[in-house]
């Protein structure tokens, strides 16, 4: 693949911009500056740097972000800063066939919810992780306003009716972890689901943090606002 095409596929700008970066000596491959935009390279496994910033070729982008509070999972936020501002420009600019470019969040978390968020430019991956048919478990650490009791846990496990759906919504797993906290596992995602489920059993969510998706836990060394690429082992742990 030509070097300018590699840069374009990774989100470093239009083909013309990418060719210009190479011709201006701003791209290095194997620690050597390359000024030939049409130079051919094996893309898979290629590592290069653009303006001194190292980058590795990824045919598809799979990213894990530790979402901080006070951010919106939207490219056009209404009130709070967008989570996409936490990502480097190439991830936001990766070319897509549709009108929206770059990686997209796999589901959404409310602005005050923190924790594990996946982003990708792979539409099939988004569908597989989001569809209730695949029953991908998502684990939430919930802080509550009122004490958690056994009756509330039992109701959440048995299923509660939300106002827009006559079919009961139930937790795949639920356990009290403290007087004012519980660990809740869901396999489907509805609007404000955790908050509405807790309200349905007479409690209220004060804090909400997603700690796990599938068998993959949020890394303890990934601070709020930080991101990293998903490894092959991570992707395997996310398989339903």
Is 137-213 the same fold as 62-132+220-237?
A: yes
pTM over 0.75: yes
How many H-runs (helices) and E-runs (strands) does the chain carry? 7, 15
Q: So what's the pLDDT on residue 100?
A: 82
Whole-number CA gyration radius for the chain: 21
The answer on pLDDT for 225 being more than 90 is yes
pLDDT in tens, 112-123: 999 999 999 999
pLDDT at 94 over 80: yes
Closest CA to 108 of 181, 210, 214, 197: 210
CATH 1.10.1060.10: does it fit domain 3-56?
no
Domain extent listing, the chain: 3-56, 62-132+220-237, 137-213
Indicate whether 133 pLDDT > 90.
Answer: no
Residue bearing the bigger pLDDT, 95 or 239? 95
- Which CATH superfamily hosts domain 137-213? Alpha-L RNA-binding motif (3.30.70.1560)
Quick one: pLDDT band at residue 166, thresholds 50, 70, 90? Answer: confident
**Which of 176, 192, 105 lies closest to 141, judged by CA?**
176
Residues assigned a catalytic role: 110
């Amino acid at each position: 693949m030509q070097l300018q095409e590699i840069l374009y596929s990774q989100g470093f700008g239009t083909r013309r911009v990418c060719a210009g970066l190479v011709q201006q000596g701003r791209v290095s491959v194997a620690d050597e500056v390359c000024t030939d935009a049409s130079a051919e390279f094996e893309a898979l496994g290629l590592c290069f740097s653009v303006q001194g910033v190292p980058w590795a070729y990824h045919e598809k982008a799979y990213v894990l972000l530790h979402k901080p509070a006070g951010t919106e999972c939207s490219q056009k936020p209404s009130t709070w800063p967008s989570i996409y501002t936490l990502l480097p420009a190439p991830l936001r600019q990766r070319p897509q066939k549709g009108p929206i470019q770059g990686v997209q969040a796999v589901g959404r978390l409310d602005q005050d919810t923190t924790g594990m968020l996946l982003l990708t430019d792979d539409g099939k991956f988004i569908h597989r992780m989001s569809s209730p048919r695949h029953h991908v478990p998502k684990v939430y650490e919930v802080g509550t306003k009122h004490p958690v009791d056994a009756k509330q846990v039992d109701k959440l496990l048995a299923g509660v009716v939300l106002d827009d759906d006559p079919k009961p919504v139930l937790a795949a797993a639920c356990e009290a972890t403290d007087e004012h906290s519980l660990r809740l596992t869901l396999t489907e995602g509805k609007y404000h689901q955790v908050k509405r489920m807790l309200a349905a059993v007479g409690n209220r969510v004060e804090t909400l943090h997603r700690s796990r998706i599938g068998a993959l836990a949020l890394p303890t060394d990934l601070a709020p606002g930080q991101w990293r690429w998903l490894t092959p082992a991570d992707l395997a742990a996310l398989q339903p």
